[in-house]
């Protein structure tokens, strides 16, 4: 049975801060932003997922990064 996915939300949220925690049953991925002058990150989104779906996210993100670098060149490290 095929499921038609819903279109993505129209409002995007910029993130540049990430926290990840896990237990045996789940991964918690918190996303937020830190702006110049902020003393604490402004947390916007928390994803809660199972380990297999966290692995699927890692896989699709890795493939997307490879495609990006093939098209646009190496992504510089934030630490360089």
Length of the chain: 80
Residue 34 covered by a domain? yes
How many whole angstroms separate alpha carbon 63 and alpha carbon 72? Answer: 14
Residue 77 covered by a domain? no
How many whole angstroms separate alpha carbon 28 and alpha carbon 53? Answer: 12
Residue 10 covered by a domain? no
Helix runs in the chain, H state only: 51-72
How many whole angstroms separate alpha carbon 46 and alpha carbon 64? Answer: 22
Query: What string of pLDDT tens digits covers the 80 residues of the chain?
Result: 567 777 777 788 899 999 999 999 999 999 999 999 999 999 999 999 999 999 999 999 999 999 999 999 999 998 85
Q: Give the pLDDT score at 80.
A: 59
Residue 3 covered by a domain? no
Total number of domains in the chain: 1
Closest by CA to 46, choosing from 19, 77, 9, 7, is: 19
Please give the residue range of the domain that contains residue 53: 17-72
Q: What is the pTM of this model?
A: 0.77
Residue 31 covered by a domain? yes
């Amino acid at each position: 049975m095929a499921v038609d996915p819903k279109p993505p939300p129209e409002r995007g949220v910029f993130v540049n801060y990430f926290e990840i925690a896990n237990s045996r049953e789940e991964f918690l991925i918190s996303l937020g932003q830190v702006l110049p002058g902020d003393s604490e990150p402004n947390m916007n989104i928390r994803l809660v997922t199972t380990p297999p779906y966290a692995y699927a996210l890692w896989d699709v993100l890795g493939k997307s990064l490879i495609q990006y670098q093939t098209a646009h060149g190496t992504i510089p490290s934030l630490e360089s």
